[in-house]
Amino acid sequence: MPSHTGKTPGSRRGETAKAGARISTSYGELQGGGGETHQTVAEGAERLTTSQGAPVADDQNTLRQGDRGPALMEDFHFREKVFHFDHERIPERVVHARGYGAHGYFELTDSLADVTRADVFQRVGERTPVFVRFSTVAGSKGSFDLARDVRGFAVKLYTREGNWDLVGNNIPVFFIQDAIKFPDLIHSVKPEPDREFPQAQSAHDNFWDFISLTPESLHMIMWVMSDRAIPRSFRFMEGFGVHTFRLLDAQDRSTFVKFHWKPKLGLQSVAWNEAVKINGADPDFHRRDLWDAIGSGDFPEWELGVQLFDDAFAESFAFDVLDPTKIIPEEEIPVRVVGRLVLDRRVDNFFAETEQVAFCTQNVPPGIDFSDDPLLQGRNFSYLDTQLKRLGGPNFTHLPINAPKCPFAHFQQDGHMAMRNPVGRANYEPNSWGEQGGPREDPERGFHSFAAEERGPKTRRRPESFADHYSQARQFFVSQTPIERKHIGDALTFELSKVERPDIRSRVVSHLLHVDRTLARTVADGLGLDMPEPAKAARPVVDDLPPSDALSIVKRGPQRFEGRKLGILLTEGADAGLFNALVAAVEAEKAVYEVIAPKIGGVVLSDGAKVPADQKIDGGPSVLYDAVAIVASPAGATLLAGDSAAKDFATDAFAHCKFIAYSAEVMVLFEKAGLADDIDAGCIALGGPKDAAAFLKACAPLRFWDREPKVDLDAKA
């Protein structure tokens, strides 16, 4: 759906923006069209200034041309603020420090030649090399994998016309609307500066203080407090480009686009209690999963989908397509699948590749261009600036992991660690040295920016079209299944229970009242709070947005056990027929298994066969597996019943709503673990080898959620 106009969308919104007059307000009140929070200086208070001492009038908005126009380079306060933030850490990344990467390829399955000249989208069946880095955001390089956090999903495509870095996340929206607030967001979520803790956690006063004063973050908070923030594996999470980009065809006509990565094996997350225990049992859980999957030939795969729309849709959409805190529901613009991403090779050296890879949102090939999304505009400055400090100089593109795989030529020279310099006499252009004069411009195939018509005064404010902070947060919440809504309430209650100041807790609940009153009541009751008055809203909440099934993990569950892991707990003398049947059923489902035993040396089965163990019982808890089976001899079951690790194995699997298979002898363990009276449809007895296949089929939903109300105190309250 190409747009043949040169007009920036939003002329209709521009009329409403004129009404957004700025009014000086007191602490914590909303000001400006977008509803951003300003804290004005009080008499005798310290005044916010730049590093040069110049007083700052507005620390909430980047200087731009018009309310919805591009950011301006003359904004010295923004550049200084983000420049300093980019260089706070040596040599670790400030954000996304804990990452893990792999090589692979992107294969085009549906040409986009009708809407873009980008070479990577022209020829169906062609494969483009890629490198992908997954990461957490808040924790240090040495933190654990299963933090409740956003996950980075950064893809470097080495196209024929230059590198394309699609630097996304596993959540399609972000906390803030303007990049000038990014240092504040990350400062708030990082360890508190006076005590340097907590690590890789958002459950503390500073983060929730910032959130409670930044209502634009509420949509993102719904996602982060959902199970999306504790994925079971990189292989089972979505990726999003977050921003609205442009595709340009051969005539430089524009089509807006949002990018989506859809996992082939479907979405899956873990329970919060499970995440806490996984971090103790295996803090490298996600890393190990990706390493093992590629090593076994079970190559992780995603589909690349695009949402394409034109100016007419952008004008008519209920929210602003330039607002990074908003989505376009898939029911309104379906996701068109155009390719697949396959990761089929581990790195040879973690430091040289995963640690030194440099992603920059501004790295786009001809045919892909930017929108005026203010967060994207800021990222285009920040990412390049960051690499200068982290990688030591301007020549980080000389590193093999960052270098293009297509021919390239330029006149850049010297600098720290230069490995390539121009050859010959000419190191400038234009020059008159003919063929010896080096590379020349290519007006036909070179990069063209979209010729958008921008107008309006220089201003530090946000448009009125950015001012609705609650409607899509509500839409996300009502799109969840009851069990997912419960988890959001549980997460909010847990996080805020770690906040020491009651006024911060109360402010957060005042925002939740705009999302869902039942949710707000649940959190307030869980914290022992009196219900506060609703926070002031810059715009009335649209409470009848339709639910979107695409926003729910459970509604879009895979309904198959493929790619998952079964933990089989065995004892000496366990039934060989049952074990062999379980192994065959696992293989039939294209899944994998591990054997857990009292001793790492393994066990001898009933037929005399020796089975080595992958894990010792106290080193292989059930949290490491998607489902479990316990097969024991009478003597072995009695042994397990007296072992605390074995009882934990069973009780945790039950509490985390996993499917459990068991041989008859195991009832003695269940009795000692206090589970004998709670056996439900998610616990499947193995009466004989034929039951193994039925058990694996039953595991397709991945969780037996009907159990949770029986095992969770919050659900019973």
- Average pLDDT (358-365) is 94
Q: How far apart are CA 402 and CA 409, in angstroms?
A: 15
Look at residue 10 and tell me whether its pLDDT is greater than 80: no
pLDDT digits (tens, 9 = 90+) for 538-596: 999 999 999 999 999 999 889 999 999 999 999 999 999 999 999 999 999 999 999 99
- Average pLDDT (4-27) is 34
Q: Are 310 and 361 in contact (CB under 8 A)?
A: no
What is the sign of the dihedral through the CA atoms of 703, 706, 710 and 715? positive
Q: Which helix or strand (DSSP H or E) is residue 514 part of?
A: helix 502-515
**Which residues are marked as active site?**
96, 169
Tokens of 347: 């790195």
Look at residue 14 in the predicted model and tell me its pLDDT.
34
Q: How many other C-beta atoms can be found within 10 angstroms of the C-beta atom of residue 556?
A: 14
Look at residue 17 and tell me whether its pLDDT is greater than 90: no
Look at residue 90 in the predicted model and tell me its pLDDT.
52
Look at residue 448 in the predicted model and tell me its pLDDT.
87
Residue 126: φ, ψ to 5°: -75, 140
Higher pLDDT, 474 or 26: 474
pLDDT digits (tens, 9 = 90+) for 492-506: 999 999 999 999 999
Look at residue 37 and tell me whether its pLDDT is greater than 70: no
Look at residue 166 and tell me whether its pLDDT is greater than 50: yes
Look at residue 565 in the predicted model and tell me its pLDDT.
98
Look at residue 33 in the predicted model and tell me its pLDDT.
52
> In angstroms, what CA-CA distances link 175 with 32, 214, 242, 547, 569?
18, 9, 11, 21, 43
The gap between the terminal CA atoms of the chain, to the nearest Å, is 51
Which of 100-104, 292-296, 555-559 is predicted with the least confidence, judged by mean pLDDT?
555-559
pTM comes to 0.90
- Average pLDDT (116-145) is 97
Higher pLDDT, 389 or 349: 349
Higher pLDDT, 6 or 545: 545
Mean pLDDT of the chain: 92
Minimal CA–CA distance to 354: which of 95, 90, 99, 96? 99
Q: How far apart are CA 651 and CA 622, in angstroms?
A: 9
- DSSP per-residue letters across 569-610: EE-TT--HHHHHHHHHHHHHTT-EEEEEESSTT-EE-TTS-E
Minimal CA–CA distance to 639: which of 582, 579, 570? 570
Q: How far apart are CA 646 and CA 402, in angstroms?
A: 48
Task: For the chain, list the domains and their CATH numbers.
Answer: 64-173+237-398 (2.40.180.10), 565-716 (3.40.50.880)
Residue 6's SS3 state is coil
